[in-house]
Structure 1
Amino acid sequence: MLASLMAAAVSGCAVGPDFRPAPAPDVSGYTPEKLVSPNPGPGGPRVAAQHFVTGAAVSARWWSAFKSRRLDDLIRLSVDHNPTLQGAEAAIRVAQFNAQAQRGISFPQLTANSAPSSQLFSNNLSSDPASQLKYGLYTNQLTVSFAPDIWGANLRAVESLDAVTEQQLFQLEAAYLALTTNVVTTAIQEASLRGQIAAVQSIVAIERNLLAILKRQFNFGQAAQVDVLAQDAALAQAEQLLPPLEKQLAQQRNLLTALAGQLPSNEVPQSFDLASFRLPANLPVSLPGKLVEQRPDVRAAEANMHSASALVGVAIAARLPNITLSANGGSSAYRLAESFTPGVGFYTLVASATAPVFDGFTLYNKQKSAEAALDQAEAQYRATVITAFQNVADALRALQSDARAVKAARRAEETAKASLDIVQQQVNLGQVNQLAVLNAQQTYLIAAVTRVQSEGSRLTDTAALFMALGGGWPAACKASDWRQCADR
């Protein structure tokens, strides 16, 4: 009988909405017009080309497209030791055990109880005032209770917790994607800072050389003191740029070390300059329908919506009648040995049905609260999808602009350097126009730093596109083997 009731409970209906994933947005692209690959334009300095490959798959190890072994090693170190990922792994286990604990409610609950007692009665209760009554009682019981899941309340509760487990897996994926992207972008920023420092140091060396020439000419009466002082001030202004850049570089090193799960005193051995990276030529652009499958934040929002949907069923089931079956059997005797002999047994069979009659609309309002939470989860999902598409569109637009920006920056640097070379020759010949000298130095300084920044931005925006597309996490990857999936 108990087995048949369990089978009926398992096969019974579950009240509440059956969750169905939201369809992918009905769009064919990320921009109003047809997607065009970055084009630096004709003429001018040569700029490395990049091409958008629509529909191409994103590699799980997308950072390998930068062709940097040091970057590969640092990401592997970070994945193995970053405490944020370790915390996300533990969160998955918490959710899994909670779901397993909820599943246990579907089975009969068996409880054993043994209660030996000893009693001594007062002699005032006895007919013989000189005597006292003393006896022991040994009771052993086994209690079985079972609540058939008639309306699927527990089934929905398990469904909700399974969705929470799935959500935690996607949050682990999001943490993994954020970690790898942060390592890549921080390494690129370090390289950019090193390039900016090198550019400023180059300008400082040029300005020192010009200052030495002007001082020599001043000693021979070929230059005015005001020209020497102006050049000395220009040198000091250039030198002022180095300490802030060096501070930022040190902070980037600390950040890389922290991302790798190390303390600042245990700085990571990998260091980066712009020559450490190769600009990826072919950039995959997932189809819109694929994006919602790849983005971990979208999938986590979908899992949250699934959990909220199941909780509506739990709230509805709480308002319906329920049945509880219980059986209590055991033995009772005055001596422990006698409690196992025939004739001392007892049992009780109970079936109870309960139904809420009036509770001040508590359960009704809880159901309405669960339905409102589902509406909230659906709105959050839509907002997450919109943000995902915006991130991809922003990255595409940035890369289209970066190609032109790098070309313009290189042209400006080349022109400024040619102008400065002419001015240096004039200074060497004693043809000093200090205003022209200062302008040429300042123009070249700005152009050289801007060129480095634009090349760093192009690398950073490339990494941002990979992140916006979801990083290529394998769809079949599970919590138990995610590290193996990450190494694919």
Structure 2
Amino acid sequence: MRNLRGVVRAFAGLVIAASSAGCILTKDLPDPALDIPGGYKAARSAKASDAPPTLDWWRAFRSTELTTLMEEAQRVNLDIAAAVARFQQADAQARIAGAALLPTLSGSGSETYSRTSGSSASGLSIGGREVVNYNASLAASYQLDFWGQNRDAAQAAEETAVASRFDREVVALTTLTAVANAYFQVLASQDRIRTAQRNIASAERVLNAIRDRFNAGTSTDLDVAQQESLVANQRALVPPLRQALDQNINALATLVSRPPESVRVTGGSLNNIAIPRVTPGLPSELLTQRPDIRRQEAQLAAATANIGSARAQFFPSIQLTGQGGYQSSALSALFQPHAAFFSLVGSATQPIFDGGRILGNFELTQAQQDELLQTYRKTVVQSFADVDNALVAIRQTTIRLRLQRDVVASSQRAFQLAEQQLRAGTADIVTVLNTQQTLFQAEDALWQAQLARLQAIISLYQALGGGWEPKVERPVNAL
């Protein structure tokens, strides 16, 4: 027993020493050599009222219904749920990979019964001998991770799990922006339908005036036909708008994981949506805010750890195995000191020739790391372009909206004058038709311009990575 205890202590000491010797060859992350600009090209001067997006950034639009849909999507969206399941799988894979860093221990117990033959060499019949043997033992095995192969593999799995968590954030951000876009499409469709119906009523009013002139002999049948064509054209615009309305409501139903029949969207008007002011911050801050950048960074870290694990395969693998227990032919004497036994085996295996498998695997991990490095660099560069594009879109759609409002105001005045002259009998029918068409198109374009500005704001939120964690101001006297 004393010898057995000594062997166990020695085995445990080797395990502890080996577990602290890993990762001697693991490299740091490669330098992406990125050119981080000091500011965004399209950013305007920041104002005191501007602030980075909050975690619940959708509340800045001040729509209770939109907030309800956003919060419901975060709870029940199936894409987000699938992303959560993926990072749970990655966590399990990390635990599996980390198991190689610890010894394996197994216990066994057996009872063996055997009986020898009853015959002898002289042909005489002799009673056979019955033998019963009892065995109880523990077996331990451990691979010394001296070169860091298992530790690097575990680190790669852990980084992959981190990347899966950021992938969930990417899916969540994509889902939330899809909800916002679909909801604003619903509002725009409702506004355009109301405008189309109002324009139909105006066109029918003009048609009645032209018919009165025709009955009085001051207008022609061609004038009536032209106005009837314009009325029919306005009516034909309504079904596609209703189709777009229903499709976007169904899209919202899918995003909140409910059948369309159970979803009721009240909607309203784009005029009731507040326009938030958001500052993009500095490009350097974007690297820690966008989940897709963080995901690529974690994947690059996993690939770097895989290189260390692949490199360690060139070196010998050292395996320690030990077994100890008790063995006796009598159950009552099984756990007596004289029934104890143990064995301890150490082995080393050095690859000599494997047809280039280890070298090929090492070069593969290097190429995979390089691919992820380039992908990471592209993601960062693309993120800067995304923010600039969103800022440009906000600026230009705001200008477009202001100009389109001037177009609508002028078109309304022109149509009112043309309608007055029509009733007075002094208007040219062609002028009346042109002013109607100009007004109807201008009003519809106005709603589309409002929608475009809101979509540009949403694209800025998405480009910035959604909501930002609030900055913690440290006290001046903090250590």
TM, length-normalised to structure 1? 0.88
Match of 1:158 in 2: 154
In 2 relative to 1, CA 229–128 (structure 1 residues): closer, same or farther, beyond 3 Å? Answer: farther
Match of 2:15 in 1: 6
Out of 392, 400, 405, which is 2:395 matched to? 400
Greater mean alpha carbon deviation, residues 439-448 or residues 112-121: 112-121
Question: Contact 2:76/2:256 (CA < 8 Å) preserved in 1?
Answer: yes
Q: Does 1:174 align with 2:170?
A: yes
- The amino acid across from 1:211 in the alignment is L
Question: Contact 1:231/1:438 (CA < 8 Å) preserved in 2?
Answer: yes
Match of 1:47 in 2: none
Match of 1:17 in 2: 27
In 2 relative to 1, CA 265–154 (structure 1 residues): closer, same or farther, beyond 3 Å? Answer: same
SS in 1 for 2:279: strand
- The amino acid across from 1:94 in the alignment is Q
Q: Distance in 1 between matches of 2:396 and 2:48?
A: 18
1:133 positional shift = 4.7
Question: Contact 1:121/1:134 (CA < 8 Å) preserved in 2?
Answer: yes
Match of 2:237 in 1: 241
Match of 1:344 in 2: 339
Q: Distance in 2 between matches of 1:192 and 1:461?
A: 15
Match of 2:7 in 1: none
1:330 positional shift = 2.3
1:130 positional shift = 7.1
Q: Does 1:190 align with 2:186?
A: yes
Q: Distance in 2 between matches of 1:338 and 1:358?
A: 50
Match of 1:206 in 2: 202
Q: CA offsets, 1:206-226, max 9 Å, x none?
A: 011111222233233232122
Match of 1:42 in 2: none
Q: Does 1:356 align with 2:351?
A: yes
Q: CA offsets, 1:164-205, max 9 Å, x none?
A: 111111111111211221111111111111111122111111
Q: Does 1:304 align with 2:313?
A: no
Question: Contact 2:137/2:326 (CA < 8 Å) preserved in 1?
Answer: yes
In 2 relative to 1, CA 159–54 (structure 1 residues): closer, same or farther, beyond 3 Å? Answer: farther
Out of 318, 329, 342, which is 2:313 matched to? 318
1:36 positional shift = 3.3
1:297 positional shift = 0.6
Q: Does 1:35 align with 2:35?
A: no
Q: Does 1:107 align with 2:102?
A: yes
Q: Distance in 1 between matches of 2:77 and 2:340?
A: 61
In 2 relative to 1, CA 316–359 (structure 1 residues): closer, same or farther, beyond 3 Å? Answer: same
1:61 positional shift = 1.4
Give % identity: 28
SS in 1 for 2:53: coil
Greater mean alpha carbon deviation, residues 378-387 or residues 173-182: 173-182
SS in 2 for 1:343: helix
1:405 positional shift = 0.4
Residues 282-301 of structure 1: pairs in structure 2 closer than 5 A: 282-301=277-296
Greater mean alpha carbon deviation, residues 92-101 or residues 167-176: 92-101
1:432 positional shift = 4.6
Q: Looking at both structures, which has the greater relative contact order when contacts are Cα pairs under 8 Å and sequence separation is at least 6?
A: 1
1:335 positional shift = 4.6
SS in 1 for 2:393: helix
SS in 2 for 1:458: helix
RMSD: 2.3
Match of 2:449 in 1: 454
Q: Distance in 2 between matches of 1:146 and 1:380?
A: 38
Q: Distance in 2 between matches of 1:239 and 1:475?
A: 51
Match of 1:422 in 2: 417
Match of 2:71 in 1: 76
Question: Contact 1:79/1:176 (CA < 8 Å) preserved in 2?
Answer: yes
SS in 2 for 1:431: coil
1:337 positional shift = 3.9
In 2 relative to 1, CA 286–250 (structure 1 residues): closer, same or farther, beyond 3 Å? Answer: same
Out of 78, 84, 91, which is 1:96 matched to? 91
In 2 relative to 1, CA 13–113 (structure 1 residues): closer, same or farther, beyond 3 Å? Answer: closer
Q: Distance in 2 between matches of 1:335 and 1:218?
A: 123
Q: Distance in 2 between matches of 1:448 and 1:125?
A: 114
In 2 relative to 1, CA 228–122 (structure 1 residues): closer, same or farther, beyond 3 Å? Answer: farther
In 2 relative to 1, CA 54–67 (structure 1 residues): closer, same or farther, beyond 3 Å? Answer: closer
Greater mean alpha carbon deviation, residues 411-420 or residues 342-351: 342-351
SS in 1 for 2:108: strand
Q: Does 1:437 align with 2:432?
A: yes
- The amino acid across from 2:300 in the alignment is M
In 2 relative to 1, CA 55–440 (structure 1 residues): closer, same or farther, beyond 3 Å? Answer: closer
Q: Does 1:275 align with 2:284?
A: no
Match of 1:223 in 2: 219
Q: Distance in 2 between matches of 1:62 and 1:21?
A: 33
SS in 1 for 2:343: strand
SS in 1 for 2:187: helix
- The amino acid across from 1:231 in the alignment is Q
Match of 1:119 in 2: 114
Question: Contact 1:52/1:285 (CA < 8 Å) preserved in 2?
Answer: no
Q: Distance in 2 between matches of 1:341 and 1:122?
A: 31
- The amino acid across from 1:180 in the alignment is L
Out of 59, 62, 73, which is 2:57 matched to? 62
- The amino acid across from 2:11 in the alignment is L
Match of 2:380 in 1: 385
Match of 1:480 in 2: none
- The amino acid across from 2:355 in the alignment is G
Count, aligned residues: 460
Unaligned residue ranges in structure 2 (runs of 5+):
1-9, 472-479
Question: Contact 1:197/1:242 (CA < 8 Å) preserved in 2?
Answer: yes
Question: Contact 2:97/2:154 (CA < 8 Å) preserved in 1?
Answer: yes
Q: CA offsets, 1:96-126, max 9 Å, x none?
A: 2222232222222101122333334555578
